[in-house]
Amino acid sequence: MIIRRRLAALVALVVIAVGAIVWFGPGQRALRELTLPLHHADIIRQQAREKNLDPALIAAVIFQETKFRPRTSAAGAEGLMQILPSTAEFLARRTHGITFVPSDLSTPQVNISYGCYYLRYLTDHYGGNLTLAVAAYNAGLSNVDQWVARAGGPSRFTDSDIPFPETRAYVQSVRRHRRAYRQRYAHELGYR
């Protein structure tokens, strides 16, 4: 009976110790990587500085688009930030990127750079209104321009003016994940 109690106590102690290691040690980082991954933080910080964007916003858009797993969508959007080749060509012309080829979108540096340039372009287009910029990143500039006109202008626009449920959820998710990235990855994203 005493041996069983000691064995049970030992097992409980081991479980607690392993749990503490997972929670407070390397396991916490692994869990964080599964639930809210962050890769290419150096590129994100660089592009945030160059394009005057919040690095947590960039990370949140990447998370929403691909969960940091680059891919090609059914619509043909590519890479971490899901840039359509036609959008990339438009951006290349605006930036005089004469050497751009669509296959460059599979390179994280190029993809994040183009995605951030587009996010900056949309942010400027909407006078700094990030809700509108993020909505346009998902649903397209012409759609959001129509929604803004129906709402009576950018200052009157709210999430409820977004008629596409997918885009409304996208905007809310980016907003929520932006806060999470800022909290969980403050050091990696250059806040401290």
Q: Which residues participate in catalysis according to the annotation?
A: 65
Residue 180: alpha-carbon gap to chain centroid: 11
- Residue 18, token pair as written in the block: 């392993």
Residue 35: alpha-carbon gap to chain centroid: 13
Closest CA to 131 of 168, 79, 101: 168
CA distances from 88 to 18, 78, 102, 172 (A): 48, 10, 7, 25
Angle, vertex CA 110, rays to CA 107 and CA 111, nearest 5: 80
CA distances from 140 to 29, 68, 83, 89, 144 (A): 35, 22, 12, 16, 6
- With left for phi above 0 and alpha for psi between -120 and 50, is residue 163 left, alpha or beta? alpha
